[in-house]
Amino acid sequence: MGSAYVVGTFDTKGTELRYVAGLLARGHSVVTVDLSTSGAASDADVPAAAVAAHHPDGAEAVFTGERGTAVASMAAAFERFVVGRDIDGIIGLGGSGGTALIAPAMRALPIGVPKILVSTVASGDVSPYVDATDIAMFPSVTDVAGLNHISRRVLGNAAHALLGALTHPVPPHEGKPAVALTMFGVTTPCVTAVARELAADHDPLVFHATGTGGRAMEKLVDDGLVCAVLDISTTEVCDLIAGGVMSAGEQRLDAIARTRVPYVGSCGALDMVNFGALDTVPARYRNRTLHVHNPQVTLMRTTADECRRIGEFIAAKLNACHGPVRFLLPEGGVSMLDAPGQPFHDPGADAVLFDTIEERLQQTTDRRLRRLPHHINDPEFAAALVAAFRDIAFQEAR
């Protein structure tokens, strides 16, 4: 059995960290880890110098005497420190600096390892800290600056939440292998049909392709928690290329290349870029083809030039993949809005997208492209995706 890790800067938060460690120790083994950058001594089980030694440039890169660089360097060292350790669960405490120091290491841990971060910034936008992982953030309410009748309750609840997760772990899943699927609202019929077909012998995990969804899916790929990917809705690439609000970043598809996981992809919702309410659309785009999806979401049709750049990005990423890859092109349209009579129907832009991917993709025995005369939400296209998946799954099993 591993231990519960209690982490933070013991030079400024030692009292609070020891309080949390004491509560956890009533039901689980505990390891305390000091992340101070001051060089002060502490009574933590793992001193700050031992963590700092994991920095690629050594401990001297951490203890610089300048707070900004020291915190960033300790964060990098701590992220390397946690990898491969037998950590049953982890809890950290901090203000803005401590939160930024602790969160990267928590994100590096596998999905499912309990992670609790008590923070003074937890009631604001926590996406930079949580990103695509399962970190649970507790607002500290008062500053993490000593114990009082409020902080004792907040820290106690956080400690007991972690202890509950450790005392009553979720039984391991011994059932069907998991397969990841990406979906957007406008590709729902396709993904639903594929997931239904696979459910007999696989556990379909559907991710909403909102930026965070794509990153979460690839995090599970890196963690080895899915056996294959059906990346039907690659729409996040549109937002990366055109500056929308749902980009998954430049790293989209990199986990597929790193792991060689079997991959079936398509062009779901590559006809649209996402913005917020209509008045948030950048001025340079106000004369474009826009569609108000709801009061908080405005969609913009991708142009032929953007489709070319999207196709180049996808092809380049897939060319770096050396596992089994199948990529299917739905020539009848890529979303509900890209069909005859619908506002984003643009066969010319779609043709540029399809032609670019086909021209740039380096096809091999393992990396294949297929054009189909169907709309992405046609039952025939869903059946073709399932057949492609069965093909690569069968190859992997041999």
The model's pLDDT over 299-339, given as tens digits with 9 standing for 90+, comes to 999 999 999 999 999 999 999 999 999 999 999 999 999 99
Q: What pLDDT was estimated at residue 124?
A: 86
Q: What is the pLDDT of residues 169-210, one digit of tens each?
A: 888 766 899 999 999 999 999 999 999 999 999 999 999 999
Q: What pLDDT was estimated at residue 70?
A: 92
Strand (E) or helix (H) holding 327? strand 325-330
Structure tokens at 79: 């992220």
Residue 45's Cβ-side half-sphere holds a number of Cα atoms within 13 Å equal to 13
Task: Tell me the pLDDT of the chain averaged across its residues.
Answer: 95
The answer to whether residues 373 and 332 touch, using CB atoms and an 8 Å cutoff, is: yes
Q: In a 3-state reduction of DSSP, which class is residue 291?
A: strand
The answer to whether residues 24 and 4 touch, using CB atoms and an 8 Å cutoff, is: yes
Name 1's Cβ contacts closer than 8 Å, sequence gap at least 6: 29, 86, 88
For residue 328, CA distances in Å to 73, 103, 107, 125, 367 come to 44, 38, 33, 37, 11
Q: What is the mean predicted confidence (pLDDT) over 151-167?
A: 96
Q: What pLDDT was estimated at residue 123?
A: 87
Length of the chain, please? 398
Q: What is the mean predicted confidence (pLDDT) over 329-356?
A: 97
Q: What pLDDT was estimated at residue 394?
A: 65
* pTM summary value: 0.83
Residue 39's Cβ-side half-sphere holds a number of Cα atoms within 13 Å equal to 10
Report how far apart the first and last C-alpha atoms of the chain are (Å, whole number).
36
Q: What is the pLDDT of residues 258-289, one digit of tens each?
A: 999 999 999 999 999 999 999 999 999 999 99
Q: What is the mean predicted confidence (pLDDT) over 42-65?
A: 94
Q: Provide the edge-to-edge strand list for the sheet that holds 297-301.
A: 272-275, 297-301, 290-294
Rounded CA separation 41/49 (Å) = 9
Q: What pLDDT was estimated at residue 29?
A: 96
Has residue 249 got a pLDDT over 80? yes
